[in-house]
Structure 1
Amino acid sequence: MSDTAATDNGKPLDAPACHEGLRERKKRESREAMHLAALELVAEHGFEQVTVDQIAERAGVSPRTLFNYWGTKEAVVLGVDTENVRTFVGMLEERPAGEAARDSMRVLIEAHVKEASMRSESRNLKKHVMMREPQLIQIVANRNKEVSMQLRDVLAQRLAPSLGEERARDAAAIHVSRAVATLRSVYAIAVNRNVDLAEALPIFYDLDESGSLDL
């Protein structure tokens, strides 16, 4: 996939999170190394038996560094950090005020797919860990709910001047729900076809825009 998201008419939309400098790449690689180390240990010993010190040792960093990057053991195991949440919420806040909500959400979808594709090495291991440690599923659900609520608030604020507050909240909820459904569909396609998420996303768009999903 290209480094920019595209609208339905093929014109590029600027996607800040898709452009990665050397410093950002090194930070991402460090986070991924810690995340992978945590997954490996949990897969080997179980979530309750693994400590932050063990994860830090496996990743070759200090416990303090790990906490600075992730904050909690749960976060590093799941690959979920507050910086990532702020990035996606911030991206929506920075989209042009007059941009169609659908296009703004499409930028976020493509940025998420690109970011998730960079974690392909750990994705299958994470699935294994989640199946073994069902208590982690609720943590993921709570995090997703938090992100969705923040995205809805930002989008509703943008739409309120033209729609009014009540309709803006409804419209924002629908746009965010559709984006979540799109991502779930992309993950399903990736599994069905055994392809990367970046390859699955255009397959979804082709099915959606060709009318194949109306059958």
Structure 2
Amino acid sequence: MDTTTLGLRERKKAETRQAVHEAALRLVVEHGFDGVTVEAIADAANISRRTFSNYFAGKEDALLYGEEERFRRLVALVQEQPPGHSAWQAMRATILDLYEEVGTPDREWAIRTRLAKKHPALLARQLANHAALERELAQAIADRRAPARPRVMAAAFLGALRLATFQWIEEEEARSLLEVGEEILDEVARPFT
């Protein structure tokens, strides 16, 4: 099998995942989390229930797909930071890099965060994703100069990002998420810099 075919298949899979994610988010906004079934999401994405199951374990996973993709990109960007950066500097620089790539968070980000705060099943899935991200981020900074254990630094960094997101939403997006995030990261960074 040539790489062109493999590349096309991977793009098609990514497009299907994104379509399912967008359908899930749209339906949940329209009908509420509890008012949406996997079957309804599959129908809205124009796929079968079985195809849905090939991509996602449940509607929680479909809703959180965009967040998971950002997590993967965050870890990759940390790994790409110059070797001379300390662990905290590498994570901090990544926020600016990710912001430049993705831009201002969209309404989807705020909607997902609000939904997760209201629905235990979604919150549980999101917390599991965050725990996995914490482990991956700790691995990504393990070889960098750090005044604390990598897992402690990763947890502090991600906790600051979560707090920034919650504060941004509570302020009804009066300031940019980047501005709120940098303010909180500055506070949290004191022991690590």
TM-score by length of structure 2 reads 0.65
Residues 28 and 171 of structure 1, relative CA distance in 2, 3 Å threshold? farther
Output aligned runs, 1:55-66, within 5 Å: 55-60=41-46
- On the 8 A contact 1:41/1:50 being kept in 2, the answer is no
Residue in 2 that maps onto 1:185? 163
Equivalent residue number for residue 175 of structure 1 = 153
Deviations 1:184-203 (A, max 9, x none): 23213312432277x13224
- Residue 179 of structure 1 deviates from its aligned partner by 1.4
State the partner residue of 1:155: 141
The 5-angstrom pairing of residues 65-214 of structure 1 reads 70-73=55-58, 74-80=60-66, 83-111=69-97, 115=102, 117-118=104-105, 120-127=106-113, 129-156=115-142, 158-159=143-144, 170-195=148-173, 199-205=176-182
**Structure 1 pair 150–37 and aligned structure 2 pair: CA distance change class (3 A):** same
Question: For residues 96 and 50 of structure 2, what CA distance do their matches in structure 1 show?
Answer: 33
The letter for the 1-side match of 2:37 is V
The structural deviation recorded for 1:67 is 6.1
Give the length in aligned residue pairs. 173
Percent of pairs identical after alignment? 19
Report the Cα offset of residue 141 of structure 1.
Answer: 0.7
Q: Does 1:50 align with 2:40?
A: no
User: What is the DSSP-based 3-state SS (H/G/I as helix, E as strand, rest coil) of the residue aligned with 1:138?
Assistant: helix
Tell whether the 8 Å contact from 2:157 to 2:185 is kept in structure 1 after alignment.
no
State the shift of 1:144 in Å: 0.5
- Report the alpha carbon displacement of residue 105 of structure 1 after superposing the two structures with TM: 0.5
Alignment deviations for residues 109-149 of structure 1 (CA, whole Å, 9 cap, x no partner): 3455564844x232454345435531221111111001101
- Equivalent residue letter for 2:65: G
In the alignment, structure 1 segments of 5+ residues that lack a partner are 1-23
Give the gaps of 5 or more residues in structure 2. 1-10
Contact 2:20 2:41 in 1 (8 A): yes
| Aligned-partner Cα distance in 1 for 2:104–2:15 | 12
Q: CA deviation at 1:80?
A: 5.0
> How far off is 1:82 after superposition?
5.8
CA distance in 2, matches of 1:60, 1:196: 37
For the residues of structure 1 that align with 2:185 and 2:70, how far apart are their CA atoms? 28
Give yes or no for contact 2:137–2:154 (8 Å, CA) kept in 1: yes
Residue 172 of structure 1: CA displacement? Answer: 1.5
- The alpha-carbon distance between structure 1 residues 124 and 138, as it changes in their structure 2 partners (threshold 3 A), is same
TM-score of the two chains, using structure 1 as the length reference? 0.59
Amino acid at match of 1:135: A
Given that 1:190 and 1:200 are in contact with CA atoms closer than 8 Å, whether structure 2 keeps it comes out as: yes
